[in-house]
Chain A
Amino acid sequence: GEDVEQSLFLSVREGDSSVINCTYTDSSSTYLYWYKQEPGAGLQLLTYIFSNMDMKQDQRLTVLLNKKDKHLSLRIADTQTGDSAIYFCAESMNTGGFKTIFGAGTRLFVKA
């Protein structure tokens, strides 16, 4: 069945790069996403990548997609304390274009 897996925790020092990894199982995924959740808030869409792309860059964020290995990563350059949050990977199925499966989230700790 469909599944999205992420490691639960990541700790980095302020100014370093963070890399959050995700694996997914459904080869028919059309879009893959990264969402950010701050304490007490809903999820905020950070970026998305279409499944026929390998990389997408948006300011400090770089998304890499390895479709052969079903591996998605999010790199945050120059990580700041304000980046501390939970980051969710998600995939959108090509089943009427609607079903989206989320991972359990990676909690990023940024140490000053």
Chain B
Amino acid sequence: NAGVTQTPKFQVLKTGQSMTLQCAQDMNHEYMSWYRQDPGMGLRLIHYSVGAGITDQGEVPNGYNVSRSTTEDFPLRLLSAAPSQTSVYFCASSSGTGGVGYGYTFGSGTRLTVV
């Protein structure tokens, strides 16, 4: 049981490049989210999904796209990377009844630097 797996762990992009951060979970969780973590700001929600085929925006969705074609996978796409997107990105999933009541399981993160 691997939990939540994120790849890559580290990435350096040039401004304007695009890329996809991968996230996969093997716990059959319905709820999945992407957060970014910046110093002194906690975690901010980018996008989330309540099941396959259903996604919605969080607090800071601009510059990012998501899709959820399967229960297991929830990739995050950066359309045209900007230095402001330098951050640590976390994927999380939950099976909590009525939502995330029982809390998230987090991946180990992707550290992204945009130069």
Residues of A within 8 A of B (CB): 4, 8, 30-31, 33, 35, 40-45, 48, 50, 88, 92, 96-100, 102-105
Contact = CB atoms under 8 A, between A and B. Distances in A.
A97 B48 CA distance: 12
- A42, A48, A96, A105 — most chain B CB neighbours (10 Å): A42
A45 B105 contact: yes
A97 B101 contact: yes
A46 to B, nearest CB: 9
Contacts, number: 70
Contact of B42 (A31, A97, A105): A105
A96 B50 CA distance: 10
B34 interface: no
A42 B100 contact: no
Most buried by B among A35, A43, A98, A104: A98
B64 interface: no
B96 to A, nearest CB: 8
